[in-house]
Protein backbone atom coordinates (compact mmCIF):
# COMPACT_ATOMS: atom_id res chain seq x y z
CA UNK A 1 0.00 0.00 0.00
CA UNK A 2 1.42 3.39 -0.93
CA UNK A 3 2.15 5.91 1.79
CA UNK A 4 2.03 9.69 1.72
CA UNK A 5 3.86 10.99 -1.33
CA UNK A 6 5.74 14.25 -0.89
CA UNK A 7 7.59 14.08 -4.22
CA UNK A 8 6.48 17.03 -6.35
CA UNK A 9 7.54 15.13 -9.47
CA UNK A 10 5.41 12.12 -8.66
CA UNK A 11 2.48 11.42 -11.02
CA UNK A 12 0.29 11.41 -7.91
CA UNK A 13 1.32 14.90 -6.88
CA UNK A 14 -1.32 17.64 -7.49
CA UNK A 15 1.46 19.74 -9.06
CA UNK A 16 2.33 17.20 -11.74
CA UNK A 17 1.33 18.06 -15.31
CA UNK A 18 -0.65 14.85 -15.74
CA UNK A 19 -2.79 15.57 -12.70
CA UNK A 20 -3.61 19.02 -14.08
CA UNK A 21 -4.64 17.46 -17.37
CA UNK A 22 -7.66 15.29 -18.27
CA UNK A 23 -5.19 12.54 -19.21
CA UNK A 24 -5.07 11.68 -15.49
CA UNK A 25 -7.95 9.34 -16.33
CA UNK A 26 -5.21 7.08 -17.69
CA UNK A 27 -3.42 7.34 -14.35
CA UNK A 28 -6.52 6.04 -12.60
CA UNK A 29 -6.66 3.09 -14.98
CA UNK A 30 -3.07 2.13 -14.25
CA UNK A 31 -2.97 3.06 -10.56
CA UNK A 32 -3.24 0.58 -7.75
CA UNK A 33 -5.72 0.60 -4.87
CA UNK A 34 -4.32 3.66 -3.10
CA UNK A 35 -3.27 5.21 -6.40
CA UNK A 36 -6.84 5.50 -7.64
CA UNK A 37 -7.97 7.18 -4.43
CA UNK A 38 -4.94 9.47 -4.36
CA UNK A 39 -5.40 10.67 -7.93
CA UNK A 40 -9.11 11.23 -7.41
CA UNK A 41 -8.38 13.30 -4.31
CA UNK A 42 -5.76 15.37 -6.12
CA UNK A 43 -8.11 15.91 -9.04
CA UNK A 44 -10.83 17.09 -6.68
CA UNK A 45 -8.48 19.64 -5.17
CA UNK A 46 -7.53 20.90 -8.63
CA UNK A 47 -11.17 21.21 -9.65
CA UNK A 48 -12.14 23.09 -6.49
CA UNK A 49 -9.17 25.44 -6.81
CA UNK A 50 -9.40 26.23 -10.53
CA UNK A 51 -13.03 26.02 -11.54
CA UNK A 52 -16.12 27.81 -10.25
CA UNK A 53 -18.18 25.75 -7.84
CA UNK A 54 -21.24 24.15 -9.38
CA UNK A 55 -24.38 24.51 -7.32
CA UNK A 56 -25.68 21.00 -6.70
CA UNK A 57 -28.33 20.03 -4.23
CA UNK A 58 -26.66 17.57 -1.79
CA UNK A 59 -29.79 15.41 -1.97
CA UNK A 60 -29.11 14.93 -5.69
CA UNK A 61 -25.80 13.23 -4.88
CA UNK A 62 -27.50 10.44 -2.94
CA UNK A 63 -27.34 7.35 -5.19
CA UNK A 64 -30.74 6.69 -6.69
CA UNK A 65 -32.42 3.52 -5.45
CA UNK A 66 -33.63 1.53 -8.40
CA UNK A 67 -34.11 -2.06 -9.45
CA UNK A 68 -30.92 -3.90 -10.37
CA UNK A 69 -30.80 -5.84 -13.60
CA UNK A 70 -28.32 -8.57 -12.66
CA UNK A 71 -26.77 -8.15 -9.21
CA UNK A 72 -28.42 -9.52 -6.07
CA UNK A 73 -28.81 -7.31 -3.00
CA UNK A 74 -25.88 -9.01 -1.23
CA UNK A 75 -23.69 -8.61 -4.31
CA UNK A 76 -24.70 -4.96 -4.70
CA UNK A 77 -23.86 -4.18 -1.05
CA UNK A 78 -20.43 -5.77 -1.40
CA UNK A 79 -19.69 -4.15 -4.75
CA UNK A 80 -20.79 -0.71 -3.56
CA UNK A 81 -18.33 -0.99 -0.66
CA UNK A 82 -15.57 -2.04 -3.07
CA UNK A 83 -16.30 0.92 -5.37
CA UNK A 84 -16.33 3.30 -2.40
CA UNK A 85 -12.95 1.97 -1.24
CA UNK A 86 -11.41 2.33 -4.70
CA UNK A 87 -12.67 5.88 -5.40
CA UNK A 88 -14.05 7.19 -2.10
CA UNK A 89 -15.95 10.37 -1.45
CA UNK A 90 -14.09 12.74 0.84
CA UNK A 91 -13.83 16.39 1.84
CA UNK A 92 -12.77 17.23 -1.72
CA UNK A 93 -15.87 15.84 -3.38
CA UNK A 94 -18.00 12.81 -4.27
CA UNK A 95 -16.67 9.46 -5.43
CA UNK A 96 -17.65 6.28 -7.25
CA UNK A 97 -20.81 5.59 -5.28
CA UNK A 98 -22.20 9.08 -5.81
CA UNK A 99 -21.34 8.70 -9.49
CA UNK A 100 -23.44 5.49 -9.48
CA UNK A 101 -20.59 3.31 -10.73
CA UNK A 102 -22.40 0.25 -9.40
CA UNK A 103 -25.38 0.94 -11.66
CA UNK A 104 -23.10 1.19 -14.65
CA UNK A 105 -21.52 -2.16 -13.71
CA UNK A 106 -24.92 -3.80 -13.17
CA UNK A 107 -26.18 -2.62 -16.55
CA UNK A 108 -22.95 -3.64 -18.25
CA UNK A 109 -23.22 -7.17 -16.82
CA UNK A 110 -26.61 -7.40 -18.51
CA UNK A 111 -25.14 -6.23 -21.82
CA UNK A 112 -21.60 -5.75 -23.12
CA UNK A 113 -19.89 -7.25 -20.03
CA UNK A 114 -22.26 -10.22 -19.73
CA UNK A 115 -19.34 -12.64 -20.06
CA UNK A 116 -18.02 -11.34 -16.71
CA UNK A 117 -21.19 -12.08 -14.77
CA UNK A 118 -19.95 -15.45 -13.45
CA UNK A 119 -16.67 -13.90 -12.32
CA UNK A 120 -18.62 -11.32 -10.29
CA UNK A 121 -20.78 -14.07 -8.79
CA UNK A 122 -17.75 -16.05 -7.63
CA UNK A 123 -15.56 -13.08 -6.71
CA UNK A 124 -18.06 -11.11 -4.62
CA UNK A 125 -19.07 -14.28 -2.79
CA UNK A 126 -15.42 -15.07 -2.01
CA UNK A 127 -14.83 -11.52 -0.76
CA UNK A 128 -17.84 -11.74 1.58
CA UNK A 129 -16.57 -15.07 2.92
CA UNK A 130 -13.08 -13.69 3.61
CA UNK A 131 -14.55 -10.66 5.38
CA UNK A 132 -16.79 -12.80 7.57
CA UNK A 133 -14.01 -15.27 8.34
CA UNK A 134 -11.46 -12.60 9.24
CA UNK A 135 -13.65 -9.96 10.87
CA UNK A 136 -17.00 -11.58 11.65
CA UNK A 137 -18.87 -9.10 9.46
CA UNK A 138 -19.85 -8.86 5.79
CA UNK A 139 -17.49 -6.73 3.68
CA UNK A 140 -19.79 -3.71 3.44
CA UNK A 141 -19.96 -3.43 7.23
CA UNK A 142 -16.19 -3.35 7.75
CA UNK A 143 -14.22 -0.21 8.58
CA UNK A 144 -12.52 1.58 5.71
CA UNK A 145 -9.15 0.28 6.91
CA UNK A 146 -10.28 -3.36 7.02
CA UNK A 147 -11.89 -3.07 3.58
CA UNK A 148 -8.71 -1.57 2.17
CA UNK A 149 -6.57 -4.33 3.70
CA UNK A 150 -8.73 -7.01 2.11
CA UNK A 151 -8.63 -5.33 -1.29
CA UNK A 152 -4.85 -5.01 -0.98
CA UNK A 153 -4.64 -8.76 -0.32
CA UNK A 154 -6.88 -9.32 -3.32
CA UNK A 155 -4.67 -7.12 -5.49
CA UNK A 156 -1.60 -9.04 -4.24
CA UNK A 157 -3.30 -12.28 -5.36
CA UNK A 158 -3.17 -13.81 -1.89
CA UNK A 159 -6.89 -14.49 -1.42
CA UNK A 160 -8.36 -17.84 -2.43
CA UNK A 161 -11.73 -18.69 -3.98
CA UNK A 162 -11.57 -16.39 -7.02
CA UNK A 163 -11.82 -17.46 -10.64
CA UNK A 164 -9.20 -17.31 -12.11
CA UNK A 165 -7.47 -15.42 -9.28
CA UNK A 166 -8.02 -12.58 -6.83
CA UNK A 167 -5.65 -10.15 -8.60
CA UNK A 168 -7.44 -10.75 -11.89
CA UNK A 169 -10.80 -10.05 -10.23
CA UNK A 170 -9.43 -6.93 -8.52
CA UNK A 171 -8.16 -5.49 -11.80
CA UNK A 172 -11.48 -6.16 -13.53
CA UNK A 173 -13.55 -4.50 -10.80
CA UNK A 174 -11.15 -1.54 -10.56
CA UNK A 175 -11.38 -0.94 -14.31
CA UNK A 176 -15.18 -1.26 -14.28
CA UNK A 177 -15.39 1.14 -11.31
CA UNK A 178 -13.30 3.70 -13.18
CA UNK A 179 -15.46 3.20 -16.29
CA UNK A 180 -18.62 3.68 -14.23
CA UNK A 181 -17.32 6.83 -12.58
CA UNK A 182 -16.09 8.54 -15.75
CA UNK A 183 -18.27 7.10 -18.55
CA UNK A 184 -20.83 9.04 -20.55
CA UNK A 185 -23.88 9.30 -18.24
CA UNK A 186 -25.93 7.59 -20.95
CA UNK A 187 -24.50 4.27 -19.74
CA UNK A 188 -25.70 4.59 -16.16
CA UNK A 189 -22.68 6.02 -14.33
CA UNK A 190 -21.09 9.48 -13.95
CA UNK A 191 -24.28 10.67 -12.23
CA UNK A 192 -24.67 14.46 -12.41
CA UNK A 193 -21.38 14.49 -14.38
CA UNK A 194 -19.47 13.91 -11.14
CA UNK A 195 -16.67 12.06 -12.90
CA UNK A 196 -16.24 14.59 -15.68
CA UNK A 197 -16.18 17.46 -13.18
CA UNK A 198 -13.54 15.57 -11.20
CA UNK A 199 -11.36 15.41 -14.32
CA UNK A 200 -12.28 18.94 -15.40
CA UNK A 201 -13.58 17.50 -18.65
CA UNK A 202 -15.86 20.19 -20.13
CA UNK A 203 -18.17 17.79 -21.95
CA UNK A 204 -18.83 16.69 -25.51
CA UNK A 205 -18.75 19.45 -28.10
CA UNK A 206 -19.32 19.16 -31.83
CA UNK A 207 -16.82 21.92 -32.51
CA UNK A 208 -14.33 24.15 -30.73
CA UNK A 209 -13.61 27.79 -31.45
CA UNK A 210 -10.20 29.41 -31.03
CA UNK A 211 -11.48 30.91 -27.80
CA UNK A 212 -12.50 27.44 -26.56
CA UNK A 213 -9.07 26.06 -27.36
CA UNK A 214 -7.40 28.98 -25.59
CA UNK A 215 -9.44 28.33 -22.44
CA UNK A 216 -8.33 24.69 -22.39
CA UNK A 217 -9.11 23.09 -19.01
CA UNK A 218 -10.82 26.35 -17.93
CA UNK A 219 -13.56 25.86 -20.53
CA UNK A 220 -16.87 25.83 -18.61
CA UNK A 221 -18.53 22.42 -18.41
CA UNK A 222 -21.68 22.08 -20.53
CA UNK A 223 -22.88 18.97 -18.65
CA UNK A 224 -24.12 17.25 -21.79
CA UNK A 225 -23.98 13.60 -22.73
CA UNK A 226 -22.81 12.73 -26.23
CA UNK A 227 -26.34 11.46 -26.78
CA UNK A 228 -27.80 14.87 -26.06
CA UNK A 229 -26.58 15.69 -29.57
CA UNK A 230 -28.70 14.46 -32.47
CA UNK A 231 -25.55 13.31 -34.27
CA UNK A 232 -25.02 10.61 -31.65
CA UNK A 233 -28.56 9.44 -30.89
CA UNK A 234 -28.87 5.68 -30.44
CA UNK A 235 -32.11 5.49 -32.41
CA UNK A 236 -32.23 7.37 -35.68
CA UNK A 237 -35.47 9.36 -35.64
CA UNK A 238 -34.64 11.31 -38.76
CA UNK A 239 -34.43 8.05 -40.76
CA UNK A 240 -37.84 6.98 -39.52
CA UNK A 241 -36.59 3.43 -39.10
CA UNK A 242 -35.10 1.81 -35.97
CA UNK A 243 -33.11 -0.50 -38.22
CA UNK A 244 -30.82 2.46 -38.93
CA UNK A 245 -29.88 2.96 -35.28
CA UNK A 246 -26.18 3.66 -34.68
Cα–Cα distance for residue pair 151/240, rounded to 1 Å: 50
Q: What is the 3-state secondary structure (H, E, C) of 95-145?
A: CCCCCCHHHHHHHHHCCCCHHHHHHHHHHHHHHHHHHHHHHCCCHHHCCHH
In tens digits, the chain (246 residues) has pLDDT values of: 433 344 433 333 333 333 333 333 444 544 455 445 444 444 444 444 444 444 555 555 555 556 789 999 999 999 999 999 999 998 878 999 999 999 999 999 999 999 999 999 999 999 999 999 999 999 999 999 999 999 999 999 999 999 899 999 999 999 999 999 999 998 898 888 999 888 888 887 777 788 878 887 788 888 888 888 777 766 544 444 444 444
Cα–Cα distance for residue pair 79/104, rounded to 1 Å: 12
The torsion angle over the Cα atoms of residues 66, 68, 73 and 77, rounded to 10 degrees, is: -80
Cα–Cα distance for residue pair 104/185, rounded to 1 Å: 9
Overall pTM > 0.85: no
What residue segments make up the domains of the chain, in order of their start?
Answer: 59-201, 207-246
Amino acid sequence: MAGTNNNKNSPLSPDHDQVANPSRRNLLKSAGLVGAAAVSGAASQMASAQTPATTVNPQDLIPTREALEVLTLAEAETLAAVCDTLIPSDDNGPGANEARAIHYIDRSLASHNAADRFRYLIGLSALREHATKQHGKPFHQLSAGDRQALLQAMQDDTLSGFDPGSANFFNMVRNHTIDGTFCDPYYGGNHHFIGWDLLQYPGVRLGASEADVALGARLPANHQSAYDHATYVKTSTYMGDDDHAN
